[in-house]
A and B are shown apart, each in its own frame.
Chain A
């Protein structure tokens, strides 16, 4: 049974749900969203956190109106731009987000940059509550010499490149060398490894962008090393992703047996998830996976921290990486990596920094913890600012999968609903909601994109993809997206 068919929204319902205040840009001028009695909430960020927060609010309160503001013309954030092209099932959540966006009390405004086009303060004046769900758009830096050489990229940018993030379309990663080193051993690192080594037959049927597909087709990368500071028992990726590497056609594992000393003995003490992951890892390390004829190799390297990325002799590109050798202090999930003083050099022409995403402050008026790179909050209530909330990565830090964010967003929504019930949001104060914001946007020459207009972009992408046997061919240019939205 196709689960998606259970949720298909009939065309008439969709038309009736387009009750967004707006300019002609939104096509339908229906009820104004000014309030006398019902809560007006806006959400900054149209990714999983934003949508799940909206979903829970709308489900729990019959009169609440929720507007979602998104910087790009198109919704869905990391579901579209982070989840790997060969993981289409994970993107099924888009269906439930689409239903939320089409709810009669929900309105999506794309192409609106909060912090630049409109301030958070202006949102707070227009709405009873504002939820910040804008995620983590930057990445943690390595902080080592050579980090800015040609051939070194953050995983955020590399993933953004193959997933069609407009600002990454000109990345042109250098795939001309034989060996790639990925720093970090989380699921993002494994996604990158898989994209570098997957057979083209598999990739060409996914929604990977066409330019990236062509670049990967011409890639010379045959060996990918995934490097972590700590040991095999601290590896952060999960078993599904490891299994995909082990089963990747045309590849074989290449590990260093010595790095697994003592691991088999430790197995019996481990909780089941870590035990199964480690068993699979050991099996791969023992070389009983992959075919002998495979020309592409992947492997983990443990107890190594990057200290320098070394340039080629003409200093134009990356030629290698120097790694400090570590030992472990303590054991289990809290073991610490301590340098031994030894170093090791690896030759490579491509280095991907996959040590984590990082949130940025949106606005000088919103508290921000620069050390943890999150908005200080308690259960999603921003500290010391009434009526301001946060959900998702900007609240908790950039870890976890979509469902982690889902539960987190439900928690924030519950806190907001509690505050409504406790009378803390001053609902008696008349607020203008999107009417006020749309007025500001028009004055400032900002052309917002509605959810119906996104659906035109969506249809165009699916159409173009269909011609190439792909689920969609993503548009890479914001101007082109807006042009298609407005036709």
Chain B
């Protein structure tokens, strides 16, 4: 599974590594902007969890591509520079509420230096709608 590759990569990164600090802004489901400073390498899900950011119900499956609650919306210029999306991520992302053309799952996007200063958003009223009928009703 591709997410296992991601997780293994992180175990090589020491938590006390002296990487450059990268500034990230998260806008939560209530529209509140949360700013945090991180080092390179962690996934955005790990950032939200480790920093205990106030985003409700984020990462229910703990980064194993079994839900879409870490759905994040990126700016276009960031989105197009992200690593390509695998089928497995797309399978879960397709079920996320409020899907946009610049959406990704936070557990599959790792912080890199060039992301310094970027803003990511959580959709208002995050939902993970795997029932097709429900998705249709909401569309």
Residues of A within 8 A of B (CB): 1, 3-4, 6, 52, 56, 87, 89-90, 92-93, 95-96, 186-187, 235-236, 238-240, 243, 271-274, 276, 332-334, 399-404, 406-407, 410
Contacts and interface: CB of A to CB of B under 8 A. Distances in A.
Interface in B93-139: 94-95, 125-136, 139
A92 B61 contact: yes
A186 B134 CA distance: 13
Contacts of A87: 66
Contact of B135 (A235, A273, A276): A273
Contacts of B62: 3-4, 89, 92, 95
Contacts of B28: none
B91 interface: yes
Contact of B50 (A6, A90, A238, A406): A6
A89 B67 CA distance: 9
A401 B69 CA distance: 11
22 contacts: A1-B10, A1-B46, A3-B45, A6-B49, A89-B62, A89-B64, A89-B66, A92-B60, A92-B62, A92-B66, A96-B60, A187-B130, A236-B132, A272-B94, A273-B94, A276-B94, A401-B128, A401-B130, A401-B131, A403-B68, A403-B127, A407-B128
A404 B132 contact: no
Given A404-B128, A407-B128, 12 more contacts: A1-B46, A89-B64, A92-B66, A238-B95, A273-B95, A273-B132, A400-B130, A401-B67, A401-B128, A403-B57, A404-B127, A410-B56
A56 B56 CA distance: 8
7 nearest A-B residue pairs (beta carbon) = A403-B128, A89-B64, A3-B62, A273-B94, A333-B136, A89-B66, A92-B62
B7 interface: yes
B44 interface: no
A234 to B, nearest CB: 8
Contacts of B87: 243
Contacts of A271: 139
A404 B130 contact: yes
A333 B45 CA distance: 33
A29 B90 CA distance: 50
B11 interface: yes
A90 B66 contact: yes
A267 to B, nearest CB: 15
A52 B58 CA distance: 12
B131 A404 contact: yes
B92 interface: yes
Contact of A400 (B50, B64, B92, B134): B134
Interface string B37-67: 0000000011001100000110111111111
A424 B10 CA distance: 49
Given A3-B49, A239-B91, A406 B130 contact: no
B37 to A, nearest CB: 19
Given A89-B65, A404-B128, A410 B49 contact: no
Contacts of A1: 7, 10-11, 46
A6 B92 CA distance: 24
A276 B49 contact: no
Nearest to A48: B60
B49 A238 contact: no
A404 B129 contact: yes
Contacts of A404: 127-131, 134
Given A92-B66, A407-B125, A410-B56, A236 B133 contact: yes
Contacts of B127: 403-404, 407
B134 A399 contact: yes
